[in-house]
Amino acid sequence: MRAPGVSRHYPDRVRRVSGGLLVAGTSSDAGKSVLVAGLCRWLARQGVRVAPFKAQNMSNNSVVTPDGGEIGRAQALQAAAAGLVPSVRFNPVLLKPGGDRTSQVVLLGKVIGHTSALSYRDRKPELFQTVLSTLEGLRAEYDVVVCEGAGSPTEINLRRTDIANMGLARAADLPVIVVGDIDRGGVFAHLYGTVALLSPADQALVAGFVINKFRGDPALLRPGLDQLHDLTGRRVLGVLPWNADLWLDAEDSLSYTADGVVGRPLPPVGEQWLRVAVVRLPRISNGTDVEALACEPGVSVRFVTEPSRLADADLVVIPGSKATVHDLEWLRHNGLADAIIDHGRRGLPVAGICGGFQMLGTRITDSYESGAGEVPGLGLLDVEFEFQRDKILRRPDGFVFGHPATGYEIHHGTVVDQPADGLVTLPDGTPEGVLSGAIAGTHWHGLLENDEPRRALLDWAAGHAGRPGFRPAPGTSFAAVREAQLDLLGDLVAEHMDTDVLRGLLAEGAPSGLPVLPPGAP
């Protein structure tokens, strides 16, 4: 099925077989990640050997891969869409912001140091060689590699050292489609301007557009689509409708609704709701951990940033942080620390994940991440933490309340003396994390994606919160929910994009003779 106002054929193509495509965006959160996932699922359904690729990702949402490294969570989701296990090759450069001006640099899954925005510019040429060799290896192994850009390709102040957008497209001869979010307004100006500020050589690779999150009758867009084609010589290859079911695996917690609600809460199976307040830390890491809770009927999950929003919460969750000590200071500064302590001391449940777990202890000694030395924790768990120079990356398995569970660990902070009452029990009987009355903590990300452990934890929370009428739904499968979302993304590509043109771009690259828009790059 074609998008409205688009043709099925381009002019004569003269480029070599591409086997690749770059999805760029008019801005961050325009829809690049989900479109790449949708393209991967659409292609994989047809038996195409397809892999995702993001040269450089800046995100604190990451996963540990089976090959022992760390990549952006979005690339792990795209790998799942392609039917692959995640690999460090799918995201060779990962930047994890730890402050306003510095980031941890992860290359092929391993930390190689920290950098500022200015010093990173000098490191890019060396990193780019790794990016290109990794992409070359993937293109030799797979039929198609669908690449995701970063931010906007028209950051004219950064173009000279770009390794993720047009710099990558030029070096690898990739056709480019640009996606814009119509929900933000001004999408035609965004699409036109994105091309018009590129150099002629960059513009030659931009082969078309995609409009994302459209609400309403597509026929109303037809005049705009036609005019955009007349102005740019490039067609809109698809108009993807807004869909309320697409909310899992957000790139950051700001992608959720304005009131902080996660997902689309379903009515409870029992007589009562369970209300979960998740602290939206300034440097939140893997906030997506709580999305599995939001898949459960009767569980209302909301991100909060100030103390009053904890007043009616049953369970408070402190998620991971890329800057644990700094975010703990933020909790104290805005009054959330006192509210969390009060919540826990009243016997109501509090759970911490990774950095949040560390904040719940009595003391943190950090000479590496923040350099702050000894810092008092919230004191809700009788455990101390010490930060190590080397990052721990693991994919462990164990048991939670007797149920088998898996997860992954990404942290510098370690428990000084592991208490006997662990939230998780490892296969050899060793405890991990802490479970003390109504307070629980673990370093395991992804723990809540395990169905039976998640239901057991919800029972634990409801019991301490005084919610006897809450009952976990017996049949919720988080894996099935995620697969359904990936299938939906594949359906949207198949039904709302010009798939004939997409196949042509993948086979032959960008068409020749595309017009150059003024003014071009300065």
In order along its 522 residues, the chain shows pLDDT tens digits of: 333 333 323 222 323 334 999 999 999 889 999 999 999 999 999 999 999 999 999 998 999 999 889 999 999 999 999 999 999 999 999 999 876 678 889 999 999 888 887 688 888 888 999 999 999 999 999 999 999 999 999 999 989 999 999 999 999 999 999 999 999 889 999 999 999 999 999 999 999 999 999 998 888 899 999 999 999 999 999 999 998 888 776 654 445 554 688 988 899 999 999 999 999 999 999 999 999 999 999 999 999 999 999 999 999 999 999 999 999 999 999 999 999 999 999 999 999 999 999 999 999 999 888 888 999 999 999 999 999 989 999 999 999 999 999 999 999 999 999 999 999 999 999 999 999 999 999 999 999 999 999 999 999 999 999 999 999 999 999 999 999 999 999 999 999 999 999 999 999 999 999 999 999 987
Give per-residue pLDDT as tens, 234-255.
999 999 999 888 877 665 444 5
CATH topology of domain 20-247+483-508: Rossmann fold (3.40.50)
> Which position among 190, 354, 411, 412 bears the catalytic label?
354
Q: Which CATH superfamily groups domain 270-473?
A: Class I glutamine amidotransferase (GATase) domain (3.40.50.880)
Dist CA 298 CA 294 (whole Å): 9
3 state SS of 263: coil
Catalytic residue among 412, 445, 464, 496: 445
Same fold? 20-247+483-508, 270-473: yes
Question: 320-350 b/e with 16+ CB inside 10 Å = b?
Answer: bbbbbbbbbbbbeeeebbebbbebbeeebbb
**What does the domain layout of the chain look like in residue ranges?**
20-247+483-508, 270-473
Token representation of residue 341: 């302590």
- pTM value is 0.91
DSSP β-bridge partners for residue 147: 22, 53
Distance between alpha carbon 53 and the CA centroid of its chain, in Å?
Answer: 14
| 354 tagged catalytic | yes
Bridge-based pairing state of the strands 373-376 and 363-366:
antiparallel
